[in-house]
């Protein structure tokens, strides 16, 4: 279960409505897991008021949950993307707290939970995904104690000093604790969560384990933790499971002659510059696109790079376009791109080639293959799968990944050129060392990165999570006291 179904509604040339697999992080990660499993995907079809009956797409059963205009505004754009998203990304943008948004969040979470309650077979496993649905595990546990319940948080979980701002922090943590296993991207996220549990409820935690009273009326009782008072407790596991991509399918696409030809065409169309740098992001303030453009613009101004030999391609896919912070960000980015191109572009060469579109996977792989330096400069990012995609396709062992240390991916991809995106001089120097790096060093780094990404793919990620879930299921083992 996730906020979105993994398919988008598209209109065919004859005006008929069809479903198409959507591009994007979460979908890419889970689609291979779902195929062939006798289960259903519960999610929102992505448009307001779409009253769609359950259907099957490519072997996956879809259970659409409808959202009204007001649900979209309050639950999705409001509480999910203007309260939780900025709060969980270290308040890069100021979170907004509205009680009406919270009410809608609770209601919509209940709607998702009710669907699972209705369709899940006795003793089934329900895997709930991401920050939009944090109350669902608690709702499921209350109504269906027979279920095995997993939750995975795809985005960061903030330090308690920030999380404590949330007026509904208690309810959110209690909701998550309904799960048997709560997965995070980084061990730091899992640690932040356990600390929130201790600070808010005083429950006992040890390593990745948390002991939670079965009886929620015991939550507020002061004194030693319920587990120490001999009360019945459930064991919840909170630990990190770094997500990955379907590495082999990316690697295969990189061998497709049409994709290779397209990558060569891209270089040619840009006038065969010596260095192509690439940024690929949802247009989001967490991605550090402004920081990257600032560094790049300064290098041009200082004459350390020039438009004949270096080009930056920035793909910024449209995202959450009705949320104020995203509207403002788009203006800023497009203003900056316009200024840089106005100052440094020539008839034959743009300084920045900017595209505000999403592209199919084939085109993305062609772009990855065409570029010499990949820029991932997030200010905070749960994982960042673009970094892993870039690595997976570089079967030539070439290409350089510049990677923000504030991404989950940085925990894993140590052979990248790690940067602090706030340190503009550091970013500039790293861009120059990437341009000047010897072939031998490029290959050495990429080889090591590729080994990691090919070994740790999304199938391994989901298997690790589901395995932990089967081992730690209260429903399967009865009350886990210990
Ligand atoms: C991130 C979140 C996902 C979300 C995606 C796209 O990757 O972790 O839950 O689906 O962004 O955002 P959107 O608001 O368009 O669903």
Give 53-102 pLDDT, tens digit per residue: 999 988 889 999 999 999 999 999 999 999 999 999 999 999 999 999 99
- Tell me the CA–centroid distance for residue 352 and ligand 1, in Å: 26
Listed range (7-16, 135-144, 175-184, 348-357) with the worst mean pLDDT: 7-16
d(CA 150, CA 125): 8
Supply the residue whose CA is at minimum distance from atom 3 of ligand 1.
Answer: 26
Pairing of strands 17-21, 7-11: antiparallel
Q: State which ligand 1 atom lies nearest to the alpha carbon of 76.
A: 14
Contact 458, 33 (CB under 8 A): yes
C-alpha distances in angstroms, 73 versus 43, 48, 136, 317?
17, 10, 20, 21
Do 285 and 325 touch, CB atoms closer than 8 A? yes
Q: How far is the CA of 381 from the centre of ligand 1 (A)?
A: 12
Instruction: Report the nearest atom of ligand 1 relative to the CA of 129.
Output: 9
Q: How far does the centroid of ligand 1 lie from the alpha carbon of residue 130, in Å?
A: 9
**134 C-alpha to center of ligand 1: Å?**
14
List ligand 1's pocket residues with C-beta within 6 A: 3-4, 24-26, 81, 130, 154-155, 319-320
Question: Does the structure show a pLDDT above 60 at 2?
Answer: yes
| ipTM, two decimals | 0.97
Beta strands 204-206; 233-240: pairing state: unpaired
Q: Which of 7, 46, 130 to mutate to test the pocket of ligand 1 (most atoms within 8 A of CB)?
A: 130
* Average pLDDT over all residues of the chain: 95
Contact (CB, 8 A) for 376 and 386: yes
Atom of ligand 1 nearest to the CA of 25: 7
Across the range 272-288, mean pLDDT stands at 98
In the chain, what is the greatest distance between 2 CA atoms, to the nearest angstrom?
77
The pLDDT assigned to 229 comes to 87
Distance 437 CA to ligand 1 centre (A): 35
Which residue, by CA, sits nearest to atom 8 of ligand 1?
Answer: 154
Q: Is the pLDDT of residue 482 over 60?
A: no
Distance 222 CA to ligand 1 centre (A): 38
pLDDT of residue 26: 60
| Residue nearest ligand 1's atom 12 by CA | 319
Full-model pTM: 0.96
Query: For residue 384, is pLDDT > 50?
Result: yes
Output the residue whose Cα is nearest ligand 1's atom 9: 130
Give the pLDDT band (50/70/90) at residue 346: very high
Q: What is d(CA 456, CA 50) in angstroms, rounded to the nearest whole number?
A: 37
Residue with CA nearest ligand 1 atom 15: 319
- The proportion of the chain whose per-residue pLDDT surpasses 90, expressed as a percent, equals 87
Report yes or no: 315 and 352 within 8 Å, Cβ to Cβ: no
Q: Report the separation in Å between the CA atom of 452 and the middle of ligand 1, taken as the mean of its atom positions.
A: 25
In degrees to the nearest 10, what's the CA dihedral of 73, 74, 78, 80?
-110
Q: Please tell me the distance between residue 2's alpha carbon and the centre of ligand 1 in angstroms.
A: 10
CA geometry: angle 82, 84, 87, nearest 5 deg = 95
**CA–CA distance, 154 with 200 (Å, rounded to integer):** 23
Residue 127 φ then ψ, to 5°: -115, 115
Atom of ligand 1 nearest to the CA of 130: 9
Centroid of ligand 1 to alpha carbon of 320 (angstroms): 9
């Amino acid at each position: 279960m996730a906020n979105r179904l993994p398919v988008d509604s598209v209109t065919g040339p004859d005006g008929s409505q069809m479903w198409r697999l959507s591009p994007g992080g979460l979908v890419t990660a889970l689609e291979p897991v779902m195929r062939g499993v006798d289960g259903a995907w519960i999610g929102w079809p992505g448009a307001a008021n779409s009253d769609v009956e359950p259907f099957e797409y490519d072997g996956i059963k879809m259970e659409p949950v409808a959202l009204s205009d007001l649900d979209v505004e309050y639950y999705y754009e409001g509480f999910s993307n203007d309260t939780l998203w900025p709060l969980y990304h270290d308040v890069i943008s100021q979170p907004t707290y509205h009680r009406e948004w919270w009410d809608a969040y609770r209601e919509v979470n209940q709607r998702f939970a009710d669907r699972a309650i209705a369709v899940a077979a006795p003793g089934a496993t329900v895997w709930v995904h991401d920050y939009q649905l944090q109350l669902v595990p608690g709702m499921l546990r209350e109504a269906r104690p027979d279920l095995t319940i997993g939750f995975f948080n795809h985005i960061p979980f903030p330090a308690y000093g920030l999380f404590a701002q949330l007026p509904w922090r208690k309810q959110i943590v209690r909701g998550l604790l309904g799960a048997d296993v709560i997965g995070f991207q980084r061990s730091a996220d899992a640690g932040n969560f356990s600390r929130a549990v201790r600070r808010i409820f005083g429950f006992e935690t040890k390593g990745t384990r948390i002991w939670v009273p079965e009886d929620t009326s015991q939550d507020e009782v002061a004194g030693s933790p319920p587990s120490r008072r001999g009360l019945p407790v459930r064991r919840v596991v909170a630990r990190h499971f770094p997500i990955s991509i379907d590495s082999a399918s990316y690697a295969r696409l990189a061998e497709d002659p049409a994709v290779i030809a397209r990558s060569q065409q891209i270089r040619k169309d840009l006038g065969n510059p010596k260095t192509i740098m690439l940024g690929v992001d949802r247009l989001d303030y967490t991605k550090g696109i402004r920081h990257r453009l600032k560094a790049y613009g300064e290098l041009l101004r200082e004459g350390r790079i020039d438009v004949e030999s270096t080009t930056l391609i920035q793909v910024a896919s449209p995202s959450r376009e009705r949320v104020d912070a995203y509207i403002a960000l788009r203006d800023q980015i497009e203003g900056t791109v316009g200024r840089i191109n106005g100052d440094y572009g020539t008839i034959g060469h743009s300084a920045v080639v900017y595209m505000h579109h999403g592209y199919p996977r084939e085109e993305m792989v062609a772009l990855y293959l065409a570029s010499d330096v990949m820029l991932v400069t997030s200010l905070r990012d749960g994982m960042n799968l673009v970094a892993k995609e870039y690595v997976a396709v570089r079967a030539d062992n070439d290409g350089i990944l510049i990677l923000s240390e504030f991404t989950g991916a940085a925990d894993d991809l140590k052979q990248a050129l790690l940067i602090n995106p706030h340190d503009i001089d550091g970013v500039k120097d790293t861009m120059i060392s990437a341009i000047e790096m010897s072939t031998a060093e490029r290959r050495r780094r990429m080889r090591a990165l590729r080994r990691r990404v090919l070994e740790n793919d999304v199938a391994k990620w989901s298997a690790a999570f589901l395995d932990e879930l089967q081992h730690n299921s209260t429903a399967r083992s009865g009350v886990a006291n210990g």
